[in-house]
């Protein structure tokens, strides 16, 4: 019987606690089988459908983040209504006999804009994020109190269904600061979350760094991980504690310009079974990913890598709530782990999909002809300085006459910039590729320079959360050896609000070639249903349908459609507006019954070896050589001396399995104090081989702060043999005393490096 039901007008209160090697629900042993769902990524009209689908899968709990920036888009302006009514979501879960685990942050990651932190924090001079900065802590406390007003009364000890609350999120991947984590714990308690367990989640490699004695400790890892290894250290420290994988990654998220991510159902089911057989609780992240509608998709760090609008995640429940083959395999497992006498409910029907025949968007409004009132600024400033959180921003100034070619240098354009001279586009610059210079032709006096910068989502991980948008430093003109910083700018904000978008001067005919423009059209429906708008004719931009912001698209893929929930459509006439930042091949779209999530048009910035390029180490002497131990887990190597370094090369010579492949999940360098050096400015200069066709085993995975992703040499189209090489530019001169190496997490897999050499230099290695 579900715990909190109305009996004779009285609400039954229950209990949940961490017992001896098990969680206890009302005093009885309980294994948490949680489904991670994110309410902002699901239309409110479909919340109940997704909850029912997780119940039918065999889950007993729903795990969810609380997204601070979603509920406080402007400082002091809180919104928990409608689509943002998180309490209503929890009550729906209770209606269907599901418990809830709440993860209120303040930071959540989730591949969400700025990891859930509000953009307006960046307006505060000297702001310190995720640390005991007075302003940050003040705003965190105020927000957490608002969350408490919504959810504290729904805890199990008050008759609700909330059984656990998380403190912060994966803080070990950000830093070591127990006093800060303790302060967040106290803020969570003060907000009313008492009487149920508070917990913190991290990876097995770093959970001790910030572990508080009065919190439950949980571990995050993905499919294929060696589960005994993941919990070994925790069991040594707390042999009687209940074990939980607080994020068991069912798949992975997609980046623009990279392959669609998938993970096998076989590996997922095997990991779940192994945990269930040991009474280990879990939360399946994600059970249903959904969609990062509007501007909410974030970006990865340290290399800026924006995530797609679709958060399908290769989860058991697909982006539109569709039931996948992976769902049925998980369900077939979980039905064997039900309490005695229980059976699984029927799987709810998927939402019907419809096809919308191709139609043209016949009205256009050139962006440059529909600008808002300009703001004046002597110096370049970021988007936040002009009180703008999302969208695009236009910087305009006049240039001096010049008879010679010059170079325009834009320092830190975040994130995708187009450069116009007297109204004609002359360049496109992408932060993904590190581009920042443009050759200028001879100039007439007063030539108009326009730099249009689109923000693509603030980084949501590590130190990258300090991610100001627009042009964040300066713009200069270089003429020979002379460099001059440009001043006196007119600034135009281009937000993503529908109220801003709809009030444009649309015309039936306009020449939009190579110019950003809004396109408007209508389509008629006799019936409504889910559909997927085909964006293959379009270049890059955002879509609004009936006033709802559907999300970003980009022709490079892998996502080529945008999910359109049928509940936001209507019978009769529907309106669509598309902002295309360049220009479409044809201003036409259609609604498809199935999404296109795996069509790439180029690899963006992901390859780290030019065609025919070879690393030459013949004249180089290794500073260290040895062999890694076999098995999983971190290995730490000390050189026994300090070495001046700017460029680091690892040469892998053999593997433990005798195979031809090399794989590295994470690589850390140790400084003169023995502590890890910052990886924020690292760049991979060379990797002899990367698997980019069958999976995203790109070389930069070795410092992406994600232990479940890894660099893996190519196996799908070629089989290069040892030795394998990877060369890193540290971005600054450092003194190095050693390094730490993490092999891929799966047990008994290829690519486990054995013998190796290390080369370190202050000057670049020779690449021919």
Give the residue numbers marked as catalytic. Answer: 170, 247
Q: Which residues pair with 755 in a beta bridge?
A: 627
Alpha carbons within 13 A on the beta-carbon side of 501: 26
| Alpha carbon distance 202, 218 (integer Å) | 7
Sheet holding 482-485, edge to edge: 437-440, 406-414, 470-479, 482-485
Structure tokens at 438: 């443009």
| Alpha carbon distance 161, 15 (integer Å) | 10
Sheet holding 531-534, edge to edge: 356-360, 588-592, 531-534, 561-564
Other C-beta atoms closer than 10 Å to the C-beta of 264 total: 14
Tell me whether residue 453 is exposed, middle or buried, using C-beta atoms within 10 angstroms of its C-beta: 0 to 12, 13 to 18, 19 or more.
buried
Structure tokens at 622: 């290794």
Q: Which residues pair with 580 in a beta bridge?
A: 517, 541
CA 698 vs CA 224, 225, 647: distances in Å: 19, 19, 19
Alpha carbons within 13 A on the beta-carbon side of 115: 24
Single out the residue of 445, 462, 428, 156 nearest to residue 302, CA to CA: 462
Alpha carbons within 13 A on the beta-carbon side of 519: 29
Output the CA torsion 438→474→684→622 (10° steps): 110
With beta carbons less than 8 A apart as the criterion, state whether 576 and 545 touch.
yes
**How many whole angstroms from its chain centre is CA 58?**
27
Q: Which residues pair with 65 in a beta bridge?
A: 103
Q: Which residues pair with 649 in a beta bridge?
A: 727, 759
With beta carbons less than 8 A apart as the criterion, state whether 192 and 152 touch.
yes
Helix axes 134-151, 178-190, angle to 10 degrees: 40
Alpha carbons within 13 A on the beta-carbon side of 571: 2
Tell me, letter by letter, the H, E, C secondary structure of 287-340.
CECCECCCCCECEECCCCEEECCECCCCCCECCCCCECHHHHHHHHHHHHHCCC
Q: Which residue has the tokens 């970006």?
A: 299
Q: Which residues pair with 513 in a beta bridge?
A: none
| Alpha carbon distance 260, 312 (integer Å) | 10
| Alpha carbon distance 29, 337 (integer Å) | 13
Single out the residue of 117, 124, 581 nearest to residue 391, CA to CA: 581
CA quadruple 36, 41, 44, 45: dihedral sign? negative
Q: Which residue has the tokens 């081989």?
A: 689
With beta carbons less than 8 A apart as the criterion, state whether 474 and 485 touch.
yes
């Amino acid at each position: 019987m579900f715990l909190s039901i109305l009996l004779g007008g009285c609400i039954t209160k229950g209990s949940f606690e961490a017992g001896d090697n098990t969680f206890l629900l009302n005093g009885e042993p309980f294994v948490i089988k949680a489904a991670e769902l994110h309410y902002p990524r699901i239309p409110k009209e479909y919340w109940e459908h997704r909850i029912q689908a997780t119940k039918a899968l065999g889950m007993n709990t729903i795990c969810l983040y609380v997204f601070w920036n979603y509920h406080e888009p402007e400082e002091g302006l809180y919104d928990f209504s409608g689509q943002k009514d998180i309490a209503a979501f929890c009550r729906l879960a209770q209606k269907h006999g599901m418990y809830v685990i709440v993860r209120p942050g303040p930071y959540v990651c989730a591949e969400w804009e700025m990891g859930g932190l509000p953009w307006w924090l960046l307006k505060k001079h000297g702001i310190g994020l995720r640390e005991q900065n007075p302003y940050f802590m003040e705003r965190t406390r105020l927000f957490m109190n608002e969350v408490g007003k919504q959810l504290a009364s729904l805890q199990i000890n008050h008759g609700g269904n909330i059984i656990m609350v998380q403190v912060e999120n994966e803080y070990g991947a950000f830093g070591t600061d127990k006093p800060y984590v303790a302060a967040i714990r106290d803020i969570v308690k003060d907000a009313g979350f008492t009487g149920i367990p508070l917990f913190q989640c991290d990876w097995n490699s770093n959970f001790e760094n910030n572990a508080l004695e009065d919190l439950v400790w949980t571990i995050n890892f993905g499919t294929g991980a060696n589960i005994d290894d993941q919990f070994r250290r925790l069991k040594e420290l707390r042999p009687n504690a209940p074990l939980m994988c607080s994020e068991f990654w069912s798949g992975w998220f997609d980046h623009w310009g990279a392959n669609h991510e998938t993970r096998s159902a076989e590996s997922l089911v095997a990991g779940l079974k192994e945990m269930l057989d040991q009474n280990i609780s879990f939360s399946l992240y994600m059970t249903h990913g959904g969609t990062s509608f509007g501007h909410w998709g974030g970006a990865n760090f340290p290399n800026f890598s924006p995530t797609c609008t679709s958060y399908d995640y290769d989860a058991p429940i697909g982006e539109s709530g569709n039931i996948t083959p992976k769902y049925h395999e998980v369900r077939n497992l979980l039905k064997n782990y039900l309490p005695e006498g229980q059976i699984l409910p029927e799987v709810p029907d998927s939402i019907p999909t419809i096809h919308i025949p191709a139609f043209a968007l016949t009205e256009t409004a050139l962006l440059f002809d529909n600008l808002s009132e300009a703001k004046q600024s002597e110096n370049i400033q970021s988007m936040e300085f002009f009180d703008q959180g999302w969208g695009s921003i236009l910087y305009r100034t006049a240039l001096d006459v010049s008879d010679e070619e010059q170079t325009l240098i834009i320092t830190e354009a975040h994130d995708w910039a187009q450069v116009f001279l007297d109204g004609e586009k002359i360049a496109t610059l992408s932060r993904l590729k590190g581009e920042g210079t443009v050759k200028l032709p001879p100039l007439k006096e007063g030539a108009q320079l326009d730099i249009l910068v689109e923000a693509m989502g603030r980084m949501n991980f590590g130190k990258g959360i300090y991610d100001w948008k627009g042009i964040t430093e300066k713009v200069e003109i270089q003429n020979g050896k002379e460099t001059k910083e440009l001043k006196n700018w007119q600034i135009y904000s281009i937000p993503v609000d529908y109220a801003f978008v709809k009030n444009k001067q649309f015309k039936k005919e306009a020449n939009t070639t190579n110019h950003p423009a809004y396109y408007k059209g209508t389509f008629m429906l006799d019936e409504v249903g889910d559909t997927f708008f085909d964006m293959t004719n379009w270049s890059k931009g955002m879509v609004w349908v009936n006033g709802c912001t559907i999300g970003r698209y980009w022709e490079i893929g892998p996502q080529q459609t945008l999910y359109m929930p049928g509940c936001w459509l209507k019978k009769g006439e529907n309106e669509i507006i598309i902002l295309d930042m360049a220009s479409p091949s044809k201003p036409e779209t259609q609604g498809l019954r199935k999404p296109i999530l795996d069509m790439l048009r180029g690899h963006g910035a992901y390859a780290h070896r030019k065609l025919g390029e070879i690393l030459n180490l013949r004249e180089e002497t290794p500073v260290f050589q040895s062999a890694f131990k076999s098995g999983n887990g971190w290995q730490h190597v000390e050189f026994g001396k300090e070495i001046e370094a700017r460029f680091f090369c690892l040469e892998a010579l053999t593997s433990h399995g005798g195979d031809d492949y090399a794989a590295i999940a994470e690589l850390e360098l140790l400084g003169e104090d023995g502590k890890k050096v910052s990886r924020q400015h690292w760049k991979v200069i060379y990797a002899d081989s990367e698997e980019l066709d069958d999976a995203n085993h790109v070389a930069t995975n070795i410092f992406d702060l994600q232990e479940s992703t890894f660099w893996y040499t190519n196996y799908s189209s070629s089989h290069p043999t040892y030795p394998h090489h990877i060369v890193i530019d540290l971005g600054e001169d450092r003194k190095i005393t050693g390094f730490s190496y993490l092999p891929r997490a799966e047990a008994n897999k290829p690519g486990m490096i054995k013998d190796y050499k290390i080369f370190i230099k202050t000057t670049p290695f020779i690449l021919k």
